Amino acid sequence: MIELENVAYSYGGGELLSDISVKLAPGSFHFLTGPSGAGKTTLLKLCYGALLPTAGVVRIFGADVRAMQRDDVAHLRRRMGVVHQDCQFLNHLPVAENIALPLTASGRDAKAAEADLDDLMAWVGLTERAQALPPELSGGERQRAALARAVIMSPDVVLADEPTGNVDWDMSQRLLRLLVELNKMGKTVLIATHDLSLIRAAKVHVQARVLRIANRRVQLAGADL
């Protein structure tokens, strides 16, 4: 589904990631962990084609991202749901329209998908906040809205960058349950987080592989987690 083969990424003369080989199989659940600044976000961006590797090959759904045009990457991204660290919304649009944004951006009629949108809003518990503007939402609501937007196109893969970074423990558990639910629906899930307690909590519900970035390389984490 997503495959990184001997990937390296350099920026500003320094190598951030080196010789990374990772394969996300369909329906798998992965955590990506490591200290702040280790390169988790960079690796995630490589996974959804926002960055191009300086060495090695990144294949998304079998296609080499370096051989693709920008619009081709955009089309691939519609099969991937991304929850960004700082959520990133269009602040002038209500939450419901932000969540429906992937539909409109792909030329689909958001009005025709209104029932799906309502279900999704209910799933993440934001029905009452549908017409609020993003700056009016709490941290947890923003994360849930971002998750709803990430899955509205029913993507094959969900990539989440620190989805519980700005929320309390209860909310992080709620978000985790939503991600586990998605995995049980057959979606591939990759969560980048530095929160080890979240990983431990997840292991109760789902069989997850944990990848740890250390010294610019990815290792499979041991049982200490």
Sign of CA dihedral 189, 193, 196, 198: negative
Residue 93 binding another protein, by CB under 8 A: yes
| Length of the chain counted residue by residue | 225
Q: Which residue number, 153 or 210, has a Cβ lying nearer to another protein?
A: 153
Give the side-chain half-sphere CA count within 13 A for 44. 29
Residue 225 binding another protein, by CB under 8 A: no
A 10 A CB-CB count for 158 gives 23
CB 115 within 8 A of CB 103: no
Tell me the per-residue interface mask from 14 to 33 with another protein, x by CB under 8 A, - otherwise.
--------------------
In angstroms, the Cα distances linking 50 to 29, 53, 81, 170 are 21, 10, 13, 31
Task: For the CB of residue 82, give the shortest distance to another protein in the complex, in Å.
Answer: 6
Stretch that binds another protein, among 2-10, 94-102, 164-172, 211-219 (CB under 8 A): 94-102
Q: Which two tokens stand for residue 28?
A: 């798998």
Tell me the per-residue interface mask from 62 to 91 with another protein, x by CB under 8 A, - otherwise.
--------xx--xx-xx---x-x---xxx-
Give the side-chain half-sphere CA count within 13 A for 113. 20
Stretch that binds another protein, among 30-38, 101-109, 192-200, 206-214 (CB under 8 A): 101-109
Q: Which residue number, 82 or 208, has a Cβ lying nearer to another protein?
A: 82
CB 160 within 8 A of CB 179: yes
The residues that touch another protein, with contacts defined as CB under 8 A, are 50, 70-71, 74-75, 77-78, 82, 84, 88-90, 92-93, 97, 101-102, 104-107, 109-110, 149, 153
